[in-house]
Structure 1
Amino acid sequence: MTNQRDLFTSLAPLGFDAEHYDSKLLVQYPLIGRITRQDRQRFSVMTADGLKRASLTQGQRFDKNRGTLPIVGDWVALAQTTKDDELHPIQTVLPRVSVLSRRASGDANLEQTLVANLDLIFVVSGLDQNFNINRIERFLAMAWSCGLPAVLLLSKVDQCTDVDTKLAQLKPILRGTPVYPVNMLDPTTLFQPLAHLSTGRCAAMIGSSGVGKSTMLNQLLGSNHMATQPVRAFDDKGRHTTTHRELCLLPDAKGLIIDTPGMREAQIWFQEARIQARYAELLRVEEQCRFSDCLHLDDPGCSVRAQAMRQKDTADLWQQYRRLIELHDAT
């Protein structure tokens, strides 16, 4: 039987670490893995013993709390099977470190969980006719509202004649977010954004259809793993080529990226606990505020605002927090 140290070593490139997961889990659940793909109620799960196929239990299929069901990026414990080609029932979903969510479509105020256990979000936008500042800002806010940092990747640089102008237009909404113009004809332009990842760190790519998320991931993987389609030439409208979410391990275990289907709009789901955690450095002085009902926006004497203005890093965080409050109040 593989010992715990070997299991940790085998699962580390997939993001399993002692900081978030107790080694006792490996005793309680001998077969642990990370969901790399979901096709309805069927899952691909990467374990120390290789890729396994898994399914929901009968109880999970009828669970009304959809937010607790397994999603791509989740760590899960699988039940053992007697046959190699048999589906492994998912016993339990291990506690999530983070989750990317959005507000579900429709009138009801419901959360739709998308992918789990992320370290950052790559927001991808084209520099062609897809370029839309308001949409980009909402995608950035989706990351912030889930307690995650964002990195902005601007694709299709070769189709843009005024990159500097567009970068200047973006400056007011970035609020400390790193931004990188990326040219798929020059793979070296991916080196800088890739530096935000390392072994075990996981990012999700989000953005509209046709912005080049799958093309970018193929470039990083060195293969045509993800299917791609051309956008319509007359209006740059993308087609939904990626129809599922899939976690991919980068070559030489340099990190993990989850590709996601294009989103027509960024519906923000405000995760209060995650927001409080991300902006804890600012909010730790909240009790010193002069006002018990202070929103920490422009109120004179606000201790959070005063703390934020002392250095650039906290100023950027305050600007992010402030924008989230404004967007929340507008919903």
Structure 2
Amino acid sequence: MTRTTPPRPLDVEALFPELAAYRGTTTRLHPRPGSPDASDSSVGGPLLWPADEPWPLCTEPHGRRRGRRPADIHRERQVLASAWARNPDSGPTDAERQLLAELSREHRSAELAENAPLPMLGVAQLYRRDIADLPAGPDGCDLLQVFWCPFDRHRPTGYSMSLQLIWRRSWEVTEALTAPPQPPVIGSDGYVAEPCVLHPEQVGTYPFAGLLPDDLRDRIYAWEEAEEACAEEDDDAPVPPCYQYDLSIPPGWRVGGFASWHLTDPAPMDCRTCATPMELLLTIDSSEWDGGSKSWMPQEEDREAPTFLTARPTEVTVGRAGELNIFLCPTDPRHPSRWSIQ
């Protein structure tokens, strides 16, 4: 099913014509549960990986032998989804709660030696033919594959994630791996994505307000304050639109456009190889919308359904329910990427 972003609550360029010079595009991926195959762009689906090529591994020393089994995480989600769909008021039965308690247990892996190479999880793969804002890869690569380690125990803090991007030419894969290695246990459930098909949609977008020229930013803030003051005088007035959450940067998984810096101040993202300012490649978001960004909810969705049942199709959680912004060097995509959690 196509997913369509509703028109914005107002024409922000009519209020601030200067924004036209900063307008960009981003492709909302709209992941939804499905059964993708290796020829599809997907989140959490099978990847087009050569049978004779080593699978990405995390070799950084950290604890990796204790956690939850991937199969238990998927099963827990299935039980919960079925229970809440059956009865939105009470959810799981007593028997299901007992099963959920068993599925939530952590286990110690006997098959994995401490600090042994750990298979990374395939998070997503994106074909350039499907994603309007996906940049060209190096040397004609048309496929981007994203991996991460399922433990938050990496340098420099000891609590960081480990991320790997792989570019490839899809037509060169003549024999695909059908049973990729999997980590026996997972350190954090949020690293495990449910299989989702994508419904890409290109939409307009504008930079984070803090990165606009000072005068323009201050005028936007003043307009928001005036709108809020008017709304406070009328108890029946709707919540006025906000530049950050309604007019500029859409929530959810997306490719290209502008990064949000709502959790931290904007930070320079320059390539550590050539010092070129980097561009946003991919945003991995914990939810497709929430109470503050519901104006971006696609028109095809059930607006009466509880947000917790519909807005988290991938089940991925970044940090404390935030978003991961991955940046790419526009001069050479082979240069190491950088990322920020917001």
With the shorter chain as reference, the TM-score category is: under 0.3
TM-score by length of 2: 0.24
Higher relative contact order (CA 8 A, sep 6+): 2
TM-score (norm 1): 0.25
